[in-house]
Amino acid sequence: MTEVQERLESAKNIIIAGIFEPHSENMGEKRENDRCDVMKVLSGIYPLTPQPERIMRLSKYDGKKTRPLKV
């Protein structure tokens, strides 16, 4: 049962690649920047997009690569 529930929850996720990751030390600033960039992309697709519940970067930080976002 938990596997079915996890699959239903993960079906709502989207992965966005190619959004520039700022090199700031302030985590709040990074998160706000990611939120704004995600909303720009999603609003361009569908103007009535609701605010995402959670936005997170995938994988470990590497200054040479841009990590994808899980929304």
Which residue in 5, 29, 23 sits closest to 65, CA to CA?
23
pTM of this prediction? Answer: 0.79
Which residue in 19, 26, 29 sits closest to 58, CA to CA?
19
pLDDT at 71: 92
**Segment 16-61, tens digit of pLDDT:** 999 988 887 888 999 999 999 999 999 999 889 888 989 999 999 8
- Of 59 and 10, which is predicted with more confidence? 59
Rounded to whole angstroms, the Cα distance separating 20 from 23 reads 10
pLDDT band with cut points at 50, 70 and 90 for residue 11: confident
Q: What is the DSSP letter of 29?
A: H
Rounded to whole angstroms, the Cα distance separating 17 from 2 reads 29
Q: What is the DSSP letter of 49?
A: P
